[in-house]
Structure 1
């Protein structure tokens, strides 16, 4: 997915459970899809690894996060939980890897309803 650097930050948000200095799962509602990226990425904006979930499957994705189990969606997007409490979100040839603190902050934000699409 190609984006200019100026649009790379517009509309992205993270869980309020993530500290200012903590790397995190970032989400952006984008028309009929929800985009997910990793704030640890430091390369050029146009090559930012992003996983896209259709807005119709987004509630199922959030349910999968809350289930605390690994699993996948029909679009080939999957969540793989790690033994150390971290997780990997994969899809479209991209793997976003989060440590335990990053995943915990995201999951708590999901539980709080912060990522519900309204």
Structure 2
């Protein structure tokens, strides 16, 4: 089952699987640009920005476990079980807890973050 998010109409959004604590991966579609941030930063932290085609490619690679040097974003595991998401073009990095990344991945698997589906 694929989920089509009305993200273009509501700004920043997170996975529907995220917990009530609110700490999670947040995404925003702005035309052909995708922005990613960490809610723990309360809007004051770094934001990863990339074009929608590269974002959708990243999500496809993430789903099949083949995020490599060709991907726009690097996914780096941390010793504590968390994940660092790093933009390859400028090094911007976001740190997520194990739970935050797990909820994001559930949303990815459900199709909640696919730009092409949201704007169709």
Residue 95 (structure 2) aligned to one of 90, 94, 97: 97
**Structure 1: where are the runs of 5+ without partners?**
1-9
The runs of at least 4 aligned residues of structure 1 exceeding 4 Å deviation read: 72-75
Q: Which has the higher contact order (CA 8 A, sep 6+)?
A: 2
Does the 8 Å CA contact 2:58/2:71 hold for their aligned counterparts?
Answer: no
Does the 8 Å CA contact 1:57/1:73 hold for their aligned counterparts?
Answer: no
What TM-score, normalized by structure 2, do the two folds share? 0.74
Partner of residue 54, structure 2 = 57
**Structure 2: where are the runs of 5+ without partners?**
1-9
In the comparison of the two structures, how many residue pairs are matched? 105
Tell me how large the CA RMSD over aligned residues is. 2.1
Deviations 1:53-110 (A, max 9, x none): 21111121112332346534454x3221335442111122321011110000000100
- Separation (CA, whole Å) in 2 of partners of 1:72 and 1:33: 21
